[in-house]
Structures are given as structure tokens and as C-alpha cells.
Structure 1
Amino acid sequence: MINIIIVSEKMAKPKTLGVFESVGLVLALILVPIVLTLLFITPQQVIKSQGVKAMLPPHLRGAMLSTQNHLDAYAKQIGELQARILRLDAQNQRLSKLAGVKSTAEPINERTPVNDMMGRGGPLVKDSPLSEEDLKATIEQMSADLDLRDEYQGKLEAKLLQKSVLREMLPNSSPVEAAYSSSSYGWRIDPMSGHRAFHEGLDFPASVGTPVYAAADGIVTTAVQTADYGNLLKIDHGAGLETRYAHNSKLLVNPGDRVTKGQKIALIGSTGRSTGPHLHYEIRLNGNPLDPREYLKNHS
């Protein structure tokens, strides 16, 4: 047991402190010098610049730094999305002029950061930094804006191809006598992973064995089985145009074969990365996917 006796000339008799009072006094005598030492050891410039963080234990300072890095990553992503939107806007304006159509690209949303060169101003009232939820909402809105611009650019490319010297080569014939899933091209929730992913073609659900037809004249360049596409056919139509026919149960042509529009080239199946029998159909120009809907609807 610890007992502390205090003796003073002003006191009539010595005073004895209890256990809790004694422990409190001892802790105070130990901690006060430590705090004073930290104040003198920690550079004043660091305290001014970091405030309370300079006095925090390393693991707490690390947690605060991690949170800031997280927010910085969101801010960087917003900047990258903004740059992509501005580039797409400029490209779409040029393509609109070439296609002879009025630009109808969606304007940048009010919540989307705009070019720093644009003049803006006003008094600063109730200023506060964006929260993590604000940053996430901004990223989601900008991603949606970017998708609209991508879709619009695909429409412009289709118009240009319809007007170009390539129009006779365009694969504008339906590859199967079945309706396609209208929302299958573009961003969607992947049926297997459950994650948001870009689907580069159209899906035509149909029974196994349903005939698949060449969408245009061309030469078969690939007839192979792959993990993702299953039994895959690729047909070269010239000038960088290519069509792909995937998940087939059987291929009826071979590499090097010349095919004509409407020729039967395969049978629908569910091979490769597939949840059921259907044809996955793609149109590509110089390796880049095009929206097949824009060519099928222009077919007369």
C-alpha cells in the first residue's frame, strides 16, 4: 500500500493521502515532464504545419494519411474522367461535321468539374471539402456522361461508314433469324462475375443448332475453339472490317474459305463463357468494336 504524507508549515498537522490520491499524484508527476519533453523535442514548424497530427502515435498518423490518400485517388480519377469527357466532346464535334449532322452530345452535367480555363467566380460562402460520398457520386455521374458520349460516337461512326466507300462491304445483314437482346451491347452487369463490364457485341438467344449466317461477303480468317468465345469464327470483309460469331456448337467453314452474305457458316450453341445457347455477334473496324445495332437497323 502506498501512503503519501504531506507536511507544511501552514498545516496544523501532517495530511495523509489515500491510495487513489497517491496514484493520481504519481502519474501527474510522471506524465507532465513527458508532455513537456515532447513539446520541446517536436519541431515547432512541424506542429504548425500538422497540428494535432504531430502529437499522435505513428499508427494513428498512418490511418489519417491512408484516408487522405484514398480521397486523393478519387480526386485523381475525377480528373482523368474529366479529361476523357473533354477529349470525346472534341472528337464528336469533328465527327459531327464530317457526318453532316448537328452535334447532340450530352452536355457536361452541372456536378461534373469543367475545364479550368473557363471563367467562373463568386464569393466564397460556407466552403467545405467534398466528402467521400460526394466524390463517389461525382464519379458515377461522370461515368454515365462518358457512356453517353461513347454511344453517340458509335452512332457518328456508323453514319460515316454508311456514307463512305466502304458502304458496300458493311455487314448489315442479320447473322441469325432471331431477335437480339437490345441492351446487350455496351456496359452491363456481367452474368457470371456480377461486376460491371463492357460487352462488345450483340447476343441472339436461340435454340442449339439454329443456323448462323455470314453478315456480308468475306474470307474466313479464324475457325477455332477458345475459352471465352467457345467455337469462334472470324470473317474479314476488307478495309479493316471484321465480324465475329461466337459460342457456336458447330463450325461449317474453315480458315481461307470465301463466304457470301447469307451463307450458312455455323450452328448456335453454348460453348465457351456462356450461360445458355445464343450467338454472340461482333463487328470490328481495325480491331475496335462497333455497335452492331447501328448497322442492322440501317439494312434495307
Structure 2
Amino acid sequence: MKLLTFKKENTYALGVKMDEGIIDVKKAVELFPENGVATDMMELIEGGDEAVRRLKQFVKSLDYKGAGFAKKEDEIKWGPAVTRPSKIICVGLNYKKHADETKSKYPEEPILFNKFDNALTGHLTEIEVPRTTERLDHEVELGIVIGKTGKFINEENALDFVLGYCTTNDLSARDIQKRSPQWMLGKTNDGFAPVGPYLVTKSEVENPNSLQLTTTVNGEVRQNSNTADMIFSCEQLISYISNYMTLKPGDLIMTGTPEGVILGRPIEERVYLQPGDTVTVEVEKLGALTNTFVEDKG
């Protein structure tokens, strides 16, 4: 299933993308009462595979004729596909060709940093270019959404702890990022973690370690790679992170970016993101996530 959130009455509502349109789950449950169907994204995630199964069965049973719960995509205002993660864990230098382009050594263990929920935003939202940076960069990434609690997870069954996957963009203020050995300040400005448009359940992704990723800036292709180039696989990342912190439902792991970032270009060719630019990042099977950049309104 393709799950999503959209703004409704000052909150985020749960939606499901179907051929008939976007299903407003809460509205559908009001019209066709069904016990045990989650109507909030985090409630669904916390319910795990069983909650997904119930929702899938429910939406398949719906009668769309004359109903008021199916919306067109251009009628909604998108929210982040994951709304309240307890942790946003990001991975640096996790693609061989990206390490090559930045002239960095391949890490022996995953390089981890964090973002906070102020950075979360959704598809087709505007993102302010902070006045504090002159070097804003794009980073298409595969996002992993955890579906059940786990600690010291084995690589062999790591994907059992996944609820689904999403397209993400690890926006990075390179000048701020380089001011200290800790990257956080250049990574978690407001809107620096677009997530979406969908959270795609894991049953629709046969192998997360073999997915195409692309980025376009104003229609020009900038990144074009595959998760097969990752240094640490999805299973390795989940297992490694769980050795140091308990992973919980809704936790988001942003697995690193491939080559093609602005920082990787020759200095004379580095034109960083500016107000007016439109960036689309896409991961195979997960959908294209588009954002437009605007001036910092203060």
C-alpha cells in the first residue's frame, strides 16, 4: 500500500493512494464503521503488520459510489509521510561513488548523525533557504521506517522490523556543516527533511538494496544511482543502529546519498540551491518528492 498524510483541520490525516484517488481513512471509517482500523499514521505504524493488514482489507472493501472520502491528489496539502518519529537517524558517506566524489575514505562503520522533527516537511511544500547559508545542497535518500521495537537486531531478520520505505531528501547546508566535526547544525534546519510523498509498505519493495535514485534540479538530472552502491546495506544499518539504541515504531533511518551532490562537483561548477529552484528526488517504487525553495521569511 501507498500510505500518506495530508493536512486536515490543523492536523495530519491518514490517506491511502488508490486508483480511485486518495482515501481519507478517518472519513471512510465514519461512513463505513469498522473496528480496529487505524485512522492516524503513527497509530498505524505502531500497530505494525497487523494494522497494515486490517487497513488494506478495509480499503479494498469500500464502495466508492457517491462516497465523500476519495480525494484527488491536487485537492490535498501533503504532510510528511512520517509525522512523529521518536528518532530521525541519518547516515553519512554510505555510497562508494559519493565518497569517491568527495575524496573521502570509505567508513569502516556507519557514520551517524541526527535530524529533529522541525526538519520534517512533505511533498509540494515550500522550503525556506536559511539566511545563515550560502551553500544549500540536495541529497536523495532511501528512508526506512521501523515498524516494531527492537534492540540488538540480527542482520538476518532486520527487515522483519521494517514497516515500509519512503523517498527522502537530506538537505544540507555545507558551509555550516563544515564548521565543526559535528554535522548536525548544517543538517536539521527547518524543512531540511522532506519525506514522501508516500510511505510504501514493505510488501511492495522486494529488495531495498537494489532501487534507482534520482534528483532533478529545475528539470536537470543531478543524481542518478542505485542503492546497490551503498557501503552498508539496509540490514546492516538496522542491526548496527539497534546495538546502540532501541529502535521503535515510526523511527526513520535516512540511509545516505549517492554521487551527484553539488559538493561533489568541481569548485567552479558548484551552484548551490537558491530561492526559486525546484528539486525533485525519487526512489524507485516509492514515488517522486518535489519541493520549491523560497527566501527566508524570518
TM-score by length of 2: 0.24
Structure having the larger proportion of residues in strand: 2
The structure carrying a bigger helix percent of its residues is 1
Bigger radius of gyration? 1
Q: TM-score, normalised by structure 1?
A: 0.24
Asked which structure has the greater RCO (Cα within 8 Å, sep 6+), the reply is 2
